[in-house]
Amino acid sequence: MAAALLVTLGPAGRPASAEAVSTYCSGDSLVSRKLSAGTTWQLCWHIDDFKGLVLDKISFQGTKDAVPVPVLNSIAPVQMQVPYDIGTAEFEDLIGFGFGRHASDMTKAECPGGRIVSTHRAYTDMEGRWVEKDQPVLCVREMSKGLAYRSMWHTGEGRPLVTAQGTVLAVSFIAAVGNYEYETNYQFADNGQIDVAMGATGEVNPSMWADGGTDAQARDYGWPIGEGDRDYSASHYHSAVWRVDFGIGGRSDLKVEQSDTAWTGKRGGQSAVLVTKRRTIGTESLVNIADRREWRVYSPSSRNSDGHPRGYDIVFGKNDVYPAHPSLRNALAFTRRKPCEQLPMYNNDVSCANETVMDYADGEKLVDPIAWVNVGFHHIVRDEDQSPMPVHWQGFTLYPHDFSAQSPITPPNRATRNGFVAAENEQARGVTRSQGSTTTLRLAESAVVAGRRATITVRVTPKDPGQIAAGVLTVRDGRRTLVVSDIRKTDHGSRAITLPALPAGQHALTVAYGGSAQVDTSTSAAAILTVGKP
């Protein structure tokens, strides 16, 4: 493993203390920065031959925290799989080539206004030669992130504007592998948020052309670049995986919670009623993204000043998981921490050699959890990718969830706003409740032969004739949902719906109107449809 280098910076480049991580690193392996808002990040770092930039012992200190509070034990990219759609090539740019072995010199062009630091590198290159050198590899800088907050909420006489611009501590490293050049980038925000990203730039691969295969239709596997439709650059995936070892509060009792929110089909006084169910992921698991699904890693024993367990959410943006590799089909895997489980594929530790994340997630009790975060990007090449290729980003966010009792950058004049303030609960005043409605269901035929699809007509009549019924219609056979359909303004309150073919027998059909902010929900009386034998 390569030797490490450090930078310790305070505001305007002045030295800052690093007590929280000094047990684990010091001197050239420590980064400590107090941001303009007064919050502080501290971390250790080193360069791994394969993973490249590895961050360890990451701590955050809010303006009201007496000491830095641990967040992560470690985080690093552990895979960059690049398979081409045409099936002629697949590269493992991180494990196969090594981000650390292909570290690029960091220049001022990549680190404007920041500080570039060097480390002593010692490793065997791809040709088997021993390499030993000092190399500038790390960029550390405080950057603007734009609007941090803004509020005109009533705080006394008048409505004074409360606003501020935020900053992040950006730490980045670049590795050049073949035609691609990858930037590993972390942005540690003044409010405790961590944005994790991998940027890919460089050049379109000149040896991968979809029009070179005799059995392939070029347009199905690539995109024409350059003049005319002669040269089809092959589409391909970038599947990036990070290994995230949480260390919230420095505790070992961490738990993983999954939240799923679903519409109940009911409405309250003005809006739909959605219910959130939370469950603890108690065993090693492979999980995937779904609408309104969230994950939180927290410590039951590390609590903020409100008495709530400190935690972090794992938040995804755009993500295309890769279907052809079992280890890359899921956005997340949670496994118990074991030293030999370092890479999600092609694992090179002798204690669990060649095992994959599928082997790690084998149903053991989830203790001291590791999150394997998989973010895929399907790259359809375009004319603008030549040359050089504009950087495309993939990544995720670690979002503080009750890590602090209030935002760590809360301005002093809002410090007392913590919890429900009855006198200022303006949202509870003057609310216009939605008006009632009546829903009716009419059968086109009261009896049909099995195999034939029946048609119904649904009419929703608002109590207030000035309102328009628009929203969701749910047709049920008893308790079984048959059809979910929308009713629009242009339907003028009436919609014909064709049902799926039903088995022989009698069916008690009802339709529920889901309501809107102006028109309340309602359910029709049952209509009996008789389905005869063919």
pLDDT at residue 44, as a whole number: 95
Q: What is the mean pLDDT of residues 309-317?
A: 97
Domain ranges of the chain: 11-203+236-253+279-379+387-420, 437-532
For 66-92, write each residue's pLDDT tens digit: 999 999 999 999 999 999 999 989 999
pLDDT at residue 3, as a whole number: 37
Higher pLDDT, 223 or 518: 223
- Sheet with 455-462, side-by-side order of all strands: 437-443, 455-462, 494-498
Q: What is the mean pLDDT of residues 17-41?
A: 81
* Res. 7: pLDDT tops 70: no
pLDDT at residue 27, as a whole number: 76
Q: What is the mean pLDDT of residues 304-317?
A: 96
CATH of 437-532, one of 3.50.50.60, 3.30.420.10, 2.60.40.10, 1.10.3470.10: 2.60.40.10
Higher pLDDT, 272 or 5: 272
Higher pLDDT, 169 or 430: 169
For 166-185, write each residue's pLDDT tens digit: 999 999 999 999 999 999 99
Higher pLDDT, 238 or 349: 238
**Confidence label for 18 from pLDDT (cuts 50, 70 and 90):** very low
The set of residues, in sequence order, having a beta carbon less than 8 Å from that of 417 and lying 6+ positions away, is none
- At the second CATH level, the architecture of 11-203+236-253+279-379+387-420 is Distorted Sandwich (2.70)
Q: What is the mean pLDDT of residues 31-39?
A: 96
Cross-strand bridge partners of residue 45: 55
Higher pLDDT, 495 or 161: 495
Residue 336: C-alpha distances to residues 116, 147, 291, 346, 355 (Å): 36, 38, 26, 19, 15
Percent of the chain with pLDDT over 90: 72
Out of 45-49, 251-255, 256-260, 417-421, least confident range: 417-421
Percent of the chain with pLDDT over 70: 91
Torsion of CA 204, 242, 403, 150, to 10 degrees: 10
Torsion of CA 385, 391, 395, 396, to 10 degrees: -120
Quick check: 222 and 85 in contact, CB under 8 A? yes
pLDDT at residue 420, as a whole number: 65
For 37-55, write each residue's pLDDT tens digit: 999 999 999 999 999 999 9
For 189-227, write each residue's pLDDT tens digit: 999 999 999 999 999 987 787 776 656 688 899 999 989
Burial class of residue 344, CB neighbours in 10 A (0-12, 13-18, 19+) = buried
pLDDT at residue 418, as a whole number: 84
Written as one letter, the residue type at 456 is I
Rounded to the nearest integer, the mean pLDDT of the chain is 89
pLDDT at residue 213, as a whole number: 60
Quick check: 172 and 395 in contact, CB under 8 A? no
Higher pLDDT, 20 or 231: 231
Token pair of 97 as six digits: 């080539």
11-203+236-253+279-379+387-420 and 437-532: identical CATH topology: no
For 380-407, write each residue's pLDDT tens digit: 999 999 999 999 999 999 999 999 999 9
H/E segment holding residue 301: strand 293-303
pLDDT at residue 132, as a whole number: 87
Neighbours of 471 (CB within 10 A): 19
CA neighbours closer than 13 Å in the CB half-sphere of residue 283: 4
* Res. 413: pLDDT tops 70: yes
Quick check: 391 and 174 in contact, CB under 8 A? no
Q: DSSP secondary structure string, 187-210? A: EEETTS-EEEEEEEEE---TT-BG
Distance CA 508, CA 530 (A): 9
Out of 225-229, 267-271, 343-347, 500-504, least confident range: 267-271
Distance CA 440, CA 46 (A): 68
Quick check: 189 and 166 in contact, CB under 8 A? yes
Higher pLDDT, 353 or 78: 78
For 121-158, write each residue's pLDDT tens digit: 887 777 888 888 889 999 999 999 999 999 887 655 66
